[in-house]
Amino acid sequence: MERLQKVIASSGITSRRKAEDLIKNGKVKVNGEIITELGTKVSDKDKIEVNNILIAKEEKEYYLLNKPRGVVSTTSDDKGRKTVVDLIPTKARIYPVGRLDYDTTGALLLTNDGEFANILMHPKNEIDKVYMAKLEGIIKVDAINKLKEGVIINDIEVKASRVKLKKVNKNTNTCLVQITIHEGKNHQVKNMFESVGYPVIKLKREKEGIFSLENLNAGEYRKLTRKEIAQVYNLKKK
Ligand code: URA
């Protein structure tokens, strides 16, 4: 289910602001009935008319991108930097499901399906987000345990569901650690490691839910299959 004004705007006929005005002014019908309430939620099955003309709904599109470094995870950037949406040639109004930092690489989903995005982002669905982090220093067992028990970041407790030390390089005094989390707060992984004394040098998301990078190189993308989309819908917890 999506908000009526969003569905009208994504049909391309007008902006979201103007869609809100149309709703308030009684110009929008859902299944033949005038709706003036802005928060109204509609589904794909609802028939939406604006000024008595049926709107064409945008086809849903779903992509998995291996985000390269140096690209922002937004649909536009006020500093003119390249965005993840620029990497996928489509007319659909897709947007990234959550964010990866400018310097983080790896698995990022993009879609114009709000419900699909919500399922992946809502912490109650406990979708695994698996990252490989290169750390300054060689992490100790007590720091790993603290990450699993929970650390406080910006007054909120966050924890890792799994942490595994994968590789140690004594010469450079660095290590590779795989960490799995369920939330997607801003800079969460970097802040978590920093809070236990190990700054992140490099970060890559290896997997989000059922989606891993497989053989996608940085900057490459693929469409999701119908089966994968259905699998995500099945992950929704009541
Ligand atoms: N956590 C971070 O710190 N950065 C990311 O890009 C993703 C998760």
CATH of the domain at 18: 3.10.290.10
Distance 190 CA to ligand 1 centre (A): 6
Domain span holding position 177: 128-208
172 and 190 part of one domain: yes
Q: What is the CATH number of the domain that holds 97?
A: 3.30.70.580
| Active site amino acids | 101
pTM: 0.85
Residue 104 CB partners (closer than 8 Å, separation 6+): 67, 69, 203, 204, 205
204 and 162 part of one domain: yes
Q: pLDDT digit string (tens) for 176-208?
A: 999 999 988 999 999 999 999 999 999 999 999
Protein residue whose Cα sits closest to atom 2 of ligand 1: 187
140 and 202 part of one domain: yes
Starting at the earlier edge strand, list the strands of the sheet with 48-50: 33-34, 28-30, 48-50, 53-54
Cα separation, 224 vs 50, in Å, equals 32
Ligand 1 close to Cβ of residue 104 (< 6 A): yes
Tell me the average pLDDT of the chain.
94
Q: Which of 44-53, 145-154, 203-212 has the lowest mean pLDDT?
A: 44-53
Instruction: Provide the β-strand partners of residue 222.
Output: 64
171 and 150 part of one domain: yes
199 and 135 part of one domain: yes
pLDDT at 142: 97
- Asked whether the predicted pLDDT for residue 233 surpasses 70, the reply is yes
137 and 190 part of one domain: yes
Mutate which of 163, 189, 196, 205 for ligand 1 pocket (most atoms within 8 A of beta carbon): 189
Tokens of 213: 């990078």
- Mean pLDDT for 77-91 is 94
- Asked whether the predicted pLDDT for residue 238 surpasses 80, the reply is no
Ligand 1 close to Cβ of residue 73 (< 6 A): no
Q: pLDDT digit string (tens) for 97-122?
A: 999 999 999 999 999 998 899 999 98
Ligand 1 close to Cβ of residue 187 (< 6 A): yes
Residue the block writes with tokens 């003309």: 53
29 and 71 part of one domain: no
Check the CA dihedral 14-16-21-22 and report its sign.
Answer: positive
Nearest ligand 1 atom, CA 73: 6
197 and 226 part of one domain: no
Query: How many domains in the chain?
Result: 3
- Which string of DSSP letters, residue by residue, matches the chain? -EEHHHHHHHTTSS-HHHHHHHHHTT-EEETTEE---TT-EE-TTS-EEETTEEPPPPPP-EEEEEEPSS-BSSS--TT---BGGGGS--SS--EESS---TT-EEEEEEES-HHHHHHHH-GGG---EEEEEEEES---HHHHHHHHH-EEETTEEE--SEEEEEEEETTTTEEEEEEEES---TTHHHHHHHHTT--EEEEEEEEETTEE-TTPPTT-EEEPPHHHHHHHHHT---
Ligand 1 close to Cβ of residue 10 (< 6 A): no
81 and 135 part of one domain: no
pLDDT at 44: 79
Cα separation, 63 vs 96, in Å, equals 9
Cα separation, 166 vs 204, in Å, equals 14
